[in-house]
Structures are given as C-alpha cells and as structure tokens.
Amino acid sequence: MTHLILIRHGQSVWNLEKRFTGWVDVDLTSIGKLEACKAGERIKELNIKLDYFYSSFQLRAINTLKLIKNTLRNKNEIIKAWELNERHYGNLTGLNKDEMKKKIGEKKILEFRRSWDIRPEPLNKTSPYHPLNIKIYENIPKKNIPNTESLEDTYNRVVPYYKKEIESKLSDQKSILISAHGNSIRALCKYLFKLDNKKISNLEIPTGNPLMIQLDQKYKIKNCKYLIKERARDLIIF
C-alpha cells in the first residue's frame, strides 16, 4: 500500500479578497499559514514515510509545502512543476468574484469557474498579471504559457505530467505529497477517480486540508479521506 496526499494551498491573499488568481503569484495569509501548519500536524499523525514532495511554481503552494515539511522535520527537496499551476483565468484575472457576479451574472461566473471546457476571454499580454510578465515563468517556453484556460486545458497539462513523473514512483511503493491548487487538484481527481464532466463540476477542494489517498500496486484506490474532518468537503468520488 502506498500513499498519495493532495493538498490545495492554504488561504491566499487573493482568496481572502475574492479575486480570480490563476497564474498570478500571491502569497499566503496568516490564516493560510496556520492551515498549512495544521495540515502538517495531521499528516504527521499518519506516521508514514513520505518520499517525494511536489508543488507548482507558485508561492502559495510552495510555502504551504515548506510549512508542512517543517512540521514533519523533513529535508527532502521540493520538486517544482509549472504543469501543476492553477488554471489560468484569462481576462477575469485579478477581478473580484462578487463584483463580476453583479456585472455579468452569477450563472455566467459559475460557468467560468465550474464548467469543463469553457474558457474566459484571453488575458491581454501587456497585463502585469499575464505570466509572460511574471519573473518566475521566464524560463518556461512561451508556447506553454497560456492566455486563458478551461478545466480541460488544465487537465491536459496536469495529467500528462502526473503520468510521466509521479505515477511510476507510486508503483514503486513510494509515498508522495503534492501541494497545488483548486483546479489542478480537481483535474487530477478527475483522472484518479474517473469522474465524468458533470461530477467534476461539483467537486470543491478546500484550502489547506490534505486529501489522503491509499493505492495498491495497480493504482487502484483503496481508501480516501480528508484529514481535517471539520473542514472537509463532501467527497463525490465514492
């Protein structure tokens, strides 16, 4: 039996401000840091050996993972992959979700946030929020940097990376922790739990709450649960 733990970063500054964040690199709030520390404590209680630690390129995911590793007293390196980044929200990036609900309607915002294959309009490449203008992405090939994404687009970068870099390690009975984002984890859950397009639209990932998945040697999921019960979302996968 091996373990795969997925965690969405703790509350970020733009989560608190209810802004569409996407590929913009914002840090954790004080609450987000506490969420990460508590997540580390719950993972420590499992008393399992974690062999690999992955995060996106984004500060909120990296710092969440650092705080968890500090709690675990683990010195393994963090493997950072842009493929695990949050979904790019196009021209919604930086805008307030409540204000946009008033402007274009709650139904349209829900469509942008939860649909499988609908993208917002592209973000202008001159925007300071565009990944082309954010330093951490300067070494990513420009062809791989999106202007906007649907959940399907996010899936199409997250899952190939997972299959290539992570799945084989699980088959070798290595346990892995991935710190990422609401939509990149939703994309991965769609693959892991074989969710259809309707079910994935209903899957909500809470911040700072580790989702512990036990797998057998054939990648079959034997058990799955959130480690912080009082902040768990209903799992729709079983």
pLDDT in tens, 31-49: 999 999 999 999 999 999 9
- Confidence bin at 195 (pLDDT 50/70/90): very high
Residue 212 domain-assigned (yes or no): yes
pLDDT computed for residue 171 by the predictor: 80
Residue 94 belongs to a domain: no
pLDDT digits (tens, 9 = 90+) for 75-90: 999 999 999 999 999 9
92 within some domain: no
Does residue 163 fall inside a structural domain?
yes
Backbone φ and ψ for 156, nearest 5 degrees, come out as: -75, -5
Residue 180 lies in a domain: yes
Share of the chain above pLDDT 70, in %: 98
CATH number of the structural domain spanning residue 226: 3.40.50.1240
Is residue 190 assigned to a domain? Answer: yes
Higher pLDDT, 237 or 167: 167
Size of the chain in residues: 238
Q: pTM for the whole thing?
A: 0.95
Q: How many domains does the chain have?
A: 1
| pLDDT bracket for residue 172 (50, 70, 90) | confident
Domain residue limits at 47: 2-86+158-231
Q: Is residue 149 part of a domain?
A: no
User: Which residues carry out catalysis?
Assistant: 9, 86
Decide if 191 is inside a domain: yes
Q: pLDDT at position 231, please?
A: 76
| Span 147-169, pLDDT tens digits | 999 999 999 999 999 999 999 89
